[in-house]
Structure 1
Amino acid sequence: MGLWAGVAPLGYLNQNRIDKKCQIVIDKVRAPIVKQIFEKVAYEKWSGRKVYNWLKHDLNFKTRGNKTLTLSGIFRILDNPLYYGTFEYPRDSGKWYEGKHKPIVTKELYEQAQAQLKRDQIVRENKEFAFTKLFTCGYCASGISAEDKYKKLRDGTTAHYVYYGCTRARDRNCKNQYIREEELIAELVKILDQIHQSLLKRIIKIFAEVFFAPL
């Protein structure tokens, strides 16, 4: 045992041996991209959504079937221990094997990516961004998501930014760009400045009556 007995996952190709048993070999075109997916998450703390946008818009990356790699497909890659050399067969059997195939990533890189995914999940479950529930995309009407970004400055300090962007749930080809929270607030201030003061007071009164009325 140790030979993968199924369709090769992304980054590998199926190859028949002389004894007619199937094995998987490295896909020299896609394996480097698969490795970069793990590295982007583990080292650069990219979210699955950012990896998806990078593959789709920056690399125009396609699967063997000439399709765009889906967000769920990205998470399946990151969750698959076969990429560092081990697999369970049959699935959910509790029987694990050391594969005879060449790993694309190390076990350490795999585990670091897994740890980052868990941290991202905890943050998503516990953190609410100010504007994600207030707006939809002006281009395609999809929802709005937000991400924390950190940048190392020359003086050694780290700057923190929040970026808002379209989730592309309604239109995967939406070209709306990310915007920093400070820029979004500045645009909101401009809009509010254009509203007549009396109208603004009426809006505030309505909001107060709706959201702060006694039970």
Structure 2
Amino acid sequence: MHIDIITTLPKLVESPFSDSILKRAQTKGLVTVNVVDLRAYSTNKHRTTDDYAFGGGAGMVMTIEPIDNCINDLKSKRAYDEVIYMSPDGELFQQSIANELSLKQNLILLCGHYKGVDERVREHLVTREISIGDYVLSGGELAAAVVADAVIRLLPGVLSDETSALSDSFQAGLVAPPVYTRPAEYKGWKVPDVLLSGHPAKIEEWRHDQAIERTRARRPGLLDQ
């Protein structure tokens, strides 16, 4: 997989991909994450990428020309499955979307800033808009990192145990059940006996029941779906 992240703040985006699972995925050649500095595509001497909004009002707007130049340049090198704009009013990111995107080959993630991008970018240059929640961030960089992380960890070979991702919260429409590790008893707090029974069928049944109960208590809306 190849992921290009377009941003005016490259250093803010680079950090999450320089450690742990995401770094190992790149070292193993399973994914390439390319952080693209949008300012390199500005045509004015100050390398600005924003301007005042027509009609007035507070806040600046990212201009269309640098974004168009950047996307066209990237497209000249490879075909992209999606050009995704990270937007507060995009479709709400869920595990099912991460699963879908993990099957793609090439992705562009465009990070907005200020009051967002010129509407013509949304109308003509992007194929999809994604939000990670009903709140506003200073820019799309952290949101892009969240989406990339959720997608990359699903790629074959990224996790040492590939079945791990299949048992994550939300994969079966439920949150994950409780998990325990050694010691079996600590300060009188004991691990449930079933987990020490060595009986796989009973353990799986317990985990499934616990996942349903935890979902009902914490995220009941998932059961409605």
Shared fold by TM > 0.5?
no
TM-score of the two chains, using structure 2 as the length reference = 0.26
Greater gyration radius: 1
TM-score of the two chains, using structure 1 as the length reference = 0.27
